[in-house]
């Protein structure tokens, strides 16, 4: 397993990470344990979760039960900010809530520190300086090591990094955003800002929620229980004629070279220098094996140019 730096000054992380969004919800403790054990066996060193995953806290609780002494050998990442109660009062990035959320995550994860603590989405009601000061205090207290953001716009990333530098506060080392072969919007605005500030990129939905695995068929409804069946609005934005044409052409491209569409999707991400680790979720050990093996395909410059022509 190759390793890369998490941004300019973050820790080394495995090129393929494990997304724990299914733990404690879609799959239970026993199934999650098998997935984690396979990931660790294959050299995965980054596990990413969030307080909201697993029906609000379930994913962190499952990881807390599974990791035990092995927790010290991984980079453990979690996120805060999305609503954790029905009333929507436990949410956001204000100082008071950050301190409360961090303690709750530490308790569920059964750990004394979080390696990467990420703002799950921007909080327009809280000045970024307040958020960064709270995170800076958590770092000084030894409760978190590095910080990152998720789903921030280019201007929000720029404002956060400028504020951290100006006020001498801990700054983000990475951004976590949706990015895959057919969802490349961040290349237009956010990616240049990440490069400017030497931030690592942790792409989520690397397989476009299954579209880049062949799970879905054009003209047929998404399978019951699939992500796109559960999220109709996202499905409508993803299952477009443009994307179906791209998937067909990319499948043919991969097959002509003796590979699958999944292998192409993962290896294309691995070829992007901005990416620190690919956050790939899994519900079965075999999926972890597929994801790790997929990045062994090293795409040539000619391959990458052809892919850009197929799916710009």
Active site residues: 53
Answer yes or no: are the C-beta atoms of 201 and 209 closer than 8 Å. Answer: no
Strand ranges inside 58-155, DSSP E: 75-80, 114-119, 144-150
Question: Would you call 236 helix, strand, or coil by DSSP?
Answer: helix
Question: Would you call 115 helix, strand, or coil by DSSP?
Answer: strand
Strand ranges inside the chain, DSSP E: 3-5, 12-14, 16-19, 46-48, 75-80, 114-119, 144-150, 172-178, 200-204, 278-281
Nearest to 281 by CA among 82, 48, 95: 48
- Cα gap 174→195, rounded to integer Å: 10
List phi, psi (to 5°) of 283: -115, -10
């Amino acid at each position: 397993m190759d390793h890369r730096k998490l941004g300019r000054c973050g820790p080394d992380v495995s090129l393929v990470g494990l997304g724990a969004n299914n733990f404690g919800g879609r799959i239970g403790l026993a199934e999650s344990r098998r997935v984690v054990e396979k990931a660790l066996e294959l050299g995965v060193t980054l596990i990413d979760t969030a307080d909201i995953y697993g029906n609000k806290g379930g994913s962190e609780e499952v990881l807390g039960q599974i990791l035990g002494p092995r927790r010290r050998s991984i980079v453990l990442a979690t996120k805060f900010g999305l609503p954790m109660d029905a009333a929507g009062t436990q949410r956001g990035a204000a100082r008071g809530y950050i301190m409360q959320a961090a303690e709750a995550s530490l308790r569920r994860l059964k750990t004394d520190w979080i390696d990467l603590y990420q703002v799950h989405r921007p909080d327009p009601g809280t000045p970024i300086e307040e958020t960064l000061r709270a995170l800076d205090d958590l770092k000084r207290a030894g409760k978190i090591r590095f910080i990152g953001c998720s789903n921030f716009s280019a201007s929000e990333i720029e404002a956060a990094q400028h504020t951290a530098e100006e006020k001498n506060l801990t700054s983000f080392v990475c951004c976590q955003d949706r990015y895959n072969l057919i969802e490349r919007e961040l290349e237009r605005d956010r990616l240049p800002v990440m490069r400017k500030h030497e931030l690592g990129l942790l792409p989520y939905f690397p397989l476009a929620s299954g579209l880049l695995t062949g799970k879905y068929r054009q003209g047929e409804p998404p399978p019951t229980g699939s992500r796109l069946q559960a999220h109709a609005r996202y499905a409508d934005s993803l299952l477009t004629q443009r994307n179906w044409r791209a998937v067909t052409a990319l499948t043919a491209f991969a097959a002509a070279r003796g590979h699958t569409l999944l292998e192409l999707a993962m290896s294309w991400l691995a070829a992007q220098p901005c990416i620190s680790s690919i956050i790939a979720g899994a519900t079965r050990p075999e999926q972890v094996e597929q994801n790790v093996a997929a990045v062994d395909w090293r795409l040539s410059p000619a391959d990458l140019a052809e892919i850009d022509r197929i799916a710009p």
